[in-house]
Structure 1
Amino acid sequence: MKFRFKAMQAMRAPDELDSVTSLARPRGWLTVLVILAVIAGAGAWAFTGTLPYTVRGDGLLTRPLGVAPLESTHTGQVRNVHVRPGDEVAEGQAVADVVTPGGRVERLRSPFPGMVVDVTTGQGQALTPGETVATIERSDAPDDRLVAMLFVPDSQAASIVTGHDVDLDVSTAPAVLHGLLAGRVTSVSPYPLSASAIAGLLGDAEAAKSYVAGGPVRLVLVDLTQRDGTPTGYAWSSREGPPGVLRTQIQVSATVRLGGKSPISFVLGR
């Protein structure tokens, strides 16, 4: 059996029991301390720091009373239609003429002022009492103004209260070009709305179904923040916002800013 010379020397050398053994170099200890400091800082931030907490919802720009159907009060055939979508009508203004079975011409008039959103009848069409002739966005509220109606999932709407700031992405004014429209929450419905209730506000059953497709929603009413000197008369995240007048019946996507929450609350789901 042969042994290497160095191995034989190591066996003859005495044990260095009185020597200090270095478990880690100073650089290694520094790395450990830095890691511990980062972990401690992250833990403190998780409890004392804040992250922005927001809720999203979709809706449209409209007026506080929403839209209402103008229904026929007579049986007969439509002779003339005097309005088309986008027209402004005054209270009592003629909308259509109906010829009754007795040959008498009855004039259907709008019971309130507003803007014609949709016309669902045409010349020669037969009408019966209660059948919708047109849909009109009402402008006869005592505090008539431009607002945003948002439909927010019920589970998230519970966190929204009056006064929360809202950023609105208007479909006809791309945010990348014109910024976001500013607003503030003025009311939140206490209970979820049914599809039929939403259809009554919008005058569009298909749109109402799309809003409740993901589950129950609540109505969140948002007042737009006014600002002098902008083309629209409202405040935007950009300096001036888009050119021209801001119209109603425009789709919006909204972010409601609820303030800040500690990071640990997001982890714990509170």
Structure 2
Amino acid sequence: MRTGVFREVSLQRLSSPEQLDQLMSVTSPRAWLSLIGVTAILITALTWGIFGSIPNTTSGEGILIKSGGVHNISHAIGGQITDIKVEAGDIVRRGEVVVRIDRHELVEQIMDLGEQLERVKSSQEETEARLMREKELNNQMNKLRTELEIQSTVVAPEDGRVIEVKVSRGDFIQPGMQLISMEHVGDTARDLEVVMYVAPEEGKQILPGMTAHISPTTVKKEEYGFIIGRVTSVSEFPETAQGMMVTLGSQELVAKLSKNSDPIEVHVELITDGSTASGYKWSSISGPPIKIDSGTLCTGTVTISSQPPIRLVIPDVKKYLMRN
């Protein structure tokens, strides 16, 4: 009897309106919030997967230089260097003497002609032949003096800043040997640009107008980001060491940036921004509080293309469906 009574009481409680309301409460407010949060995350992920963008990039190493590249000064005449007038960092003007070379053969010839002229002048004969001989000797001496000035001096072909002096006083040089590397300054120079070298299989995908991100080695990328740039030109064929030498002017740089191969040469124009200390536009708000100088090594990343993230998943989904 007592068991039956308990069953009857239980049935009454379950059938009461209050108990029916409690049975209808399937989830708590916290559970609803969790469900809404998960749904929002899924919708956001799906939206990003369809309308978002993942960049396809390629990278390389390079150097910041003045637009127009590096110019190497050489000399057509060989000989021993007697004096070097400049050092790295000096500003030189067009026509300024930067190196002197010993041309003792010409000096000896001039001295010999001078002795001949003195002997002719000391002659007591006042003849037309003697006067003609004096004139001839003077002309020969003047010609040799001009040749001596040309052959014994190396001058800057234009205004520039010395980047590297490749020889030392006392060195014997061969005709055409590179003596000094310099970059353009003044009216002949524009802003800095990046000369970057990329592996051939990747470099051929780069086109003028593409966006480039340049990270100078003197700046912490994780703190200041990178400089925004734009590709201006891409070499049609891989660059040889000789071709790179014309642009870079240094065997060490050629070896470092070529990595024992013939890379594609990419020129990148840096976007200017007068509000930053460097004068260039950075991915961060203001960039580093320093000036970026030519000769700074850098790494560069070029955005070749971009695609929605969902496209990366579709091939795997197709493979899965085909297997099943």
**TM-score range normalised by the length of the shorter chain:** 0.7 to 0.9
Q: Does 1:188 align with 2:191?
A: no
> Structure 1 residues 257, 233: closer, same or farther in 2, change over 3 A?
same
> 2:162 aligned to 74, 99, 116, which one?
116
> Structure 1 residues 219, 265: closer, same or farther in 2, change over 3 A?
farther
Structure 2's unaligned 5+ residue stretches are 1-44, 108-147, 316-324
> Structure 1 residues 226, 43: closer, same or farther in 2, change over 3 A?
closer
Q: Does 1:153 align with 2:156?
A: no
Q: Does 1:125 align with 2:171?
A: yes
Q: Which residue of 2 aligns with 1:211?
A: 257
What is the letter of the counterpart of residue 270 of structure 2?
L
Q: Which residue of 2 aligns with 1:92?
A: 95
Q: Which residue of 2 aligns with 1:27?
A: none
**Counterpart contact for 2:66–2:189, Cα < 8 Å:** no
Tell me the matched-pair count: 230
Following superposition, the deviation at residue 124 of structure 1 comes to 2.2
Q: Which is richer in helix? A: 2
Superimposed CA distance per residue, residues 97-128 of structure 1 (whole angstroms, 9 cap, x where no aligned partner): 22212345622101122221111122222233
Superimposed CA distance per residue, residues 121-151 of structure 1 (whole angstroms, 9 cap, x where no aligned partner): 2222223321222112234886732100111
Aligned-partner SS, 2:213? strand
* CA distance, structure 2, for counterparts of residue 155 and residue 238 of structure 1: 31
**Counterpart contact for 1:196–1:205, Cα < 8 Å:** no
Q: Which residue of 1 aligns with 2:73?
A: 70
Q: Which residue of 2 aligns with 1:239?
A: 285
* CA distance, structure 1, for counterparts of residue 203 and residue 61 of structure 2: 12
Greater mean deviation of Cα atoms: 152-161 or 164-173: 152-161
Superimposed CA distance per residue, residues 206-248 of structure 1 (whole angstroms, 9 cap, x where no aligned partner): 3323333364421111111100121111111222222333211
Q: Which is richer in strand? A: 1
TM-score with structure 1 length normalisation?
Answer: 0.74
Greater mean deviation of Cα atoms: 102-111 or 127-136: 102-111
Look at both structures and tell me which one has the larger radius of gyration over its CA atoms: 2
* Superposed CA RMSD: 3.0
* CA distance, structure 2, for counterparts of residue 224 and residue 241 of structure 1: 14
What is the letter of the counterpart of residue 261 of structure 1?
Q
**Counterpart contact for 2:68–2:189, Cα < 8 Å:** no
TM-score with structure 2 length normalisation?
Answer: 0.62
**Counterpart contact for 1:82–1:96, Cα < 8 Å:** yes
**Counterpart contact for 2:62–2:297, Cα < 8 Å:** yes
Equivalent residue runs for 1:1-270 within 5 Å: 50-102=53-105, 103=107, 106-139=152-185, 144-213=190-259, 215-263=261-309, 264=311
What is the letter of the counterpart of residue 268 of structure 2?
V
Percent of paired sites with the same residue = 26
> Structure 1 residues 58, 74: closer, same or farther in 2, change over 3 A?
same
What is the letter of the counterpart of residue 76 of structure 1?
G
* CA distance, structure 2, for counterparts of residue 144 and residue 205 of structure 1: 25
Aligned-partner SS, 2:104? coil
> Structure 1 residues 142, 127: closer, same or farther in 2, change over 3 A?
closer
Aligned-partner SS, 1:190? coil
**Counterpart contact for 1:61–1:250, Cα < 8 Å:** yes
* CA distance, structure 1, for counterparts of residue 162 and residue 313 of structure 2: 46
Structure 1's unaligned 5+ residue stretches are 1-41
> Structure 1 residues 186, 249: closer, same or farther in 2, change over 3 A?
same
**Counterpart contact for 1:59–1:148, Cα < 8 Å:** yes
